[in-house]
Structure 1
Amino acid sequence: MAEEQHWLLTDIAADLWTERFHVSSGDFSGIRFPASWFVSKRTLHGGRRDGVELVEVHNGTLTLSILPTRGMGLWRGEYRGLRLGWQAPIRGPVHPQWVHLMDRAGLGWLDGFDEWMCRCGLHSNGPPGHDPHTGEFLPLHGRIANQPAHYLAVRLSCQPPYWLEVHGRVQETTLFFSHLELRSRIRTAVGAAWLEIEDEVVNLSDRAAELELLYHWNFGPPFLEQGSRVVAPVRELAPRNAHAAAGVASWETYAGPTAGFVEQVYFAELLADSTRRTLALLHNSNQERGVVLRFRQDQLPRFIVWKHTAAVEDGYVTGLEPATNFPNFKAFERHHGRVLTLPPHGQYRTWLRMDVLDHRDAVRSVLTEIARLQTVPPTIHPQPHPDWCQP
């Protein structure tokens, strides 16, 4: 048997589209996998999810739900009964045809937002507004999360650690404007408690193109609860606005569901190890479970904490958000040198890993790892930083 198996499910260039797909460990009688696994694809029907393609990857312990129709985002996950994601007010996943980005003065992106992880970008992210540099009106958090994949493939490594991979390509292109393509590989290993995302953003144009990219990871219960904490090796942190400044003394701790809570956002830069890797941990109140994000600080130099501990019905959630930039108006980020420029046919690569921690020793081990990186006391600004936060 070949060392790798490959299934092409969608390739618009070849006029190929597969409506249903299923492969599992039971299809490979000659291989003794450490756990039973499957990868499947189907199309959802009914309501605003009608027409959304769903790829499910189950590695034996961890389940991932991937949305090719929504920019290769992660809709939700589960690890040994622990839910990964959050309970959004909307019933998703929402097909992009129902998401009108320019609605409500550019806030239409919120109509489809219920993912565990979605990307914000690629041409822009942050609040809606007019960009005087290009004359465009930029909607909230950009377009990539509402663009469908034009290429989709599944790969299996038939040798340990038995990789299960989903590859997707999504274009964000407009005549006379940028021509960007996201090439994503989402993978896990059979029996693993983690997943990796390796992305490459390619400029398909003969002209230079700007890039902003933010990974919006969202967690609710059971990892988020009264007394949960976010822990990271912070070099410097500032509240986004005066409202967040009122809570900056407790930026790393969470309240329980609170009716009427108004979101608070904190911008940070983290310390990293000698290989430029860093991490951020969210753990519950008694440190019995947690999730840790690992990423490269040289690729994603900014980190954002979004606290939205509203009533469960209104979305009790926190966002842990590695990014190339802070989510301000693009003109402000450009002025401060945080908008990337890709040369003609250039590319930009990112790597992230998400681990689930389901016992106290695992959480404490990550806390120790973070403490080792915290070689200097963090600088916590009591008010918004003028170079980081747009007035």
Structure 2
Amino acid sequence: MDRKELLKRVGHMSQLASIQPFTYTGGKAEGVKAHQVANGTGLEFTVLESKCLDIISMKYKGMNLNFLPKSGIVAPGLADMNGTEFMRSISGGMLYTCGLRNVGTAAVDNGLNQVFHGNLKNTPAEKVSATTEWVGDDYVLKLSGEMREAAIFNENLVLKRTITTQTSAKSLLVHDVVENQGFEEQSLMLLYHVNVGYPILDDEARLLIPTSRTVARDPLSQEGIDAYAQLSAPIDGYTEQVFKHETVNQRDGKTGAAVINDRLGIGVYIKYNADALPNLIEWKSMRSGDYALGIMPSTCFVMGRTYEKEHGTLKTIAPFATLEVELEIGVLDGAQEIADFEAFMRELL
């Protein structure tokens, strides 16, 4: 339906598609600013302005797509990042951003604490803007802002984020630009923690990754490396397994992954450019109550800053240089869309 035909049928476009700002009240989420986005195609998601413009929830036609940890939404001021206390306030959701100075194991480097998965995930956005506009016959919804990770005598890194969807889409696009606004070269670690949960994740679900090489994080993960793609029902006491995949990509660097539930006829997929994010980390948590599958493009592994430095794999960004990333997160609805994505995977392999 074109723009004129659609506008004959609605009084205000927010009847179908909108970005609505709100603030959480009560409990540990008290004061967290957020935006609820609905694109009129059945896709709805919640973006946390107070936490890096990360996507805490995503639904399609009312069906949940993501994992949400037991801790729920925790305001940045209540998040304790010391030692293993991060586990009491970890964000989860459809997407949370890890970095920019550390991903994985906490460390002390050059006298500064580098907390587990970095500081960015608890950094409120600045210069936030929400817009809706017609582009031809598409109604485009856009949310943007920026986060800064900076310390005196140290880094001055800025992440500028724009999240876009439109009325004809079953997906959203995260467009990030990281800029080193300082005068010295800085290290850079970045991981997009995309977390699929029940009911998409279940014992009948399957994982699609175009891997060319897989490395386990630890001995227990090594024991399960041959079964990295095998998903199960929840298992009491299951210990997480983590793998790093080197993916097969198109000539332009495009690659992706998906979790498919054929019984429901629904899948969740990601697409991104492996030239910017060369590793795809898999977080496999089949544990009862912590039941999640992470498909996480990144510049690094999840062993932490010290590990990357010791192995010579720590990425850097020059003064006033930028790293540009696009991550598409979307829904596969029905057998044909699932088959089309599987064809995309076969082309890669």
The sequence identity of aligned pairs, in percent, is: 25
CA distance in 1, matches of 2:29, 2:191: 24
Note the alpha carbon deviations across 1:187-235, whole angstroms, 9 max, x for none: 0011310000000111121222111000000111121001322112111
Q: Is 2:318 the partner of 1:318?
A: no
Residue 372 of structure 1 deviates from its aligned partner by: 1.5
Structure 1 residue runs of 5 or longer lacking an equivalent are: 1-25, 375-391
Q: In the alignment, which residue of structure 1 is the partner of 2:36?
A: 56
Could you say if the C-alpha distance between residues 86 and 219 of structure 1 is closer, same or farther in structure 2, counting changes exceeding 3 Å?
same
Moved more, 151-160 or 120-129: 151-160
State which of 39, 48, 52 in structure 2 corresponds to 1:67: 48
Tell me how far apart the structure 1 counterparts of residues 290 and 325 of structure 2 sit (CA, whole Å).
29
Among 168, 172, 175, the alignment partner of 1:191 is 168
CA drift of 1:332 comes to 2.0
**Corresponding residue of 1:93:** 73
Taking structure 1 as the reference length, the TM-score comes to 0.83
1:87, distance to aligned residue in structure 2 (A) = 3.6
Q: Check conservation: 2:107, 2:306, Cα contact below 8 A.
A: no
8 Å CA contact retained: 1:206, 1:344:
yes
Partner of 1:80: 61
Match of 2:326 among 351, 375, 378: 351
Q: 1:31 to 1:341 in 2, by over 3 A?
A: farther
2:3 counterpart residue number: none
The one-letter amino acid paired with 1:127 is: T
Matched residue, 1:124? 102
**Where in structure 2 are the equivalents of 1:304-315 lying within 5 Å?**
304-311=281-288, 314-315=289-290
Question: Which of 358, 368, 373 is equivalent to 2:343?
Answer: 368
Is the Cα–Cα contact under 8 Å of residues 325 and 339 in structure 1 kept in the other structure? yes
Count residues with an aligned counterpart. 342
Deviations 1:348-367 (A, max 9, x none): 11011012012122112111
Shift of 1:290: 0.6
Instruction: Find out whether 1:37 has 2:17 as its counterpart.
Output: yes
Instruction: Please tell me whether residue 338 in structure 1 is matched to residue 313 in structure 2.
Output: yes
Whole-angstrom distance in 2 between the partners of 1:173 and 1:115:
26
User: Does the 8 Å CA contact 1:34/1:190 hold for their aligned counterparts?
Assistant: no
Instruction: Give deviations 1:39-94, integer Å, cap 9, x for gaps.
Output: 1101111111011001011001211100010111001011112212124211x321
3-state SS, counterpart of residue 94 of structure 1: coil
Measured after TM superposition, the shift of residue 302 of structure 1 is: 0.4
Give the structure 2 partner of residue 252 of structure 1. 229
The corresponding residue for 2:132 is: 156
> Residues 56 and 287 from structure 1, CA distance in 2 versus in 1: closer, same or farther, beyond 3 angstroms?
closer
Cα pair distance change 1:145/1:347, threshold 3 Å: same
Residue 138 in structure 1 maps to residue 138 in structure 2:
no
8 Å CA contact 1:96–1:112 kept in 2: the answer is no
Equivalent AA in structure 1 for residue 31 of structure 2: G
- The letter for the 2-side match of 1:49 is A
Match of 1:201 in 2: 178
Deviation at 1:334, TM superposition (A): 2.5
Flag the 1:364–1:298 CA change in 2: closer, same or farther, 3 A: same
Question: 2:223, 2:348 → 1: CA distance?
Answer: 28
Which consecutive residues of structure 2, in runs of 5 or more, have no partner in the other structure?
1-5
For the 8 Å contact 1:287–1:364, the answer to whether it is kept is: no
Distance 2:298 2:119 in 1: 16
User: What is the DSSP-based 3-state SS (H/G/I as helix, E as strand, rest coil) of the residue aligned with 1:70?
Assistant: coil
Residue 241 of structure 1: how far off its partner (Å) = 1.1
Paired residues of 2:106 and 2:114 also in contact (CA < 8 A):
yes
Query: Contact 1:287–1:363 at 8 Å: present in 2 too?
Result: no
The one-letter code of the counterpart of 2:255 is: T
TM-aligned CA distance change 1:112 to 1:98, over 3 Å: farther
Alpha-carbon distance in structure 1 between the residues aligned to 2:258 and 2:337: 11
Report the residue type matching 1:201 in the other structure. V
Contact 2:70–2:290, Cα closer than 8 Å, also in 1: yes
Query: 1:175 pairs with 148, 152, 158, which one?
Result: 152
8 Å CA contact retained: 1:229, 1:254? yes
Question: Structure 2: which amino acid aligns with 1:152?
Answer: V
What amino acid sits opposite 1:352 in the alignment?
Answer: L
CA distance in structure 2 between the aligned counterparts of 1:227 and 1:246, rounded to whole angstroms: 22
Cα deviation digits, residues 244-278 of structure 1 (max 9, x gap): 11212211011101110100111111011111100
Report the RMSD for the aligned CA atoms in angstroms.
2.2
- Report the TM-score, using the length of structure 2 for normalisation: 0.92
C-alpha distance in 2, partners of 1:340/1:78? 34
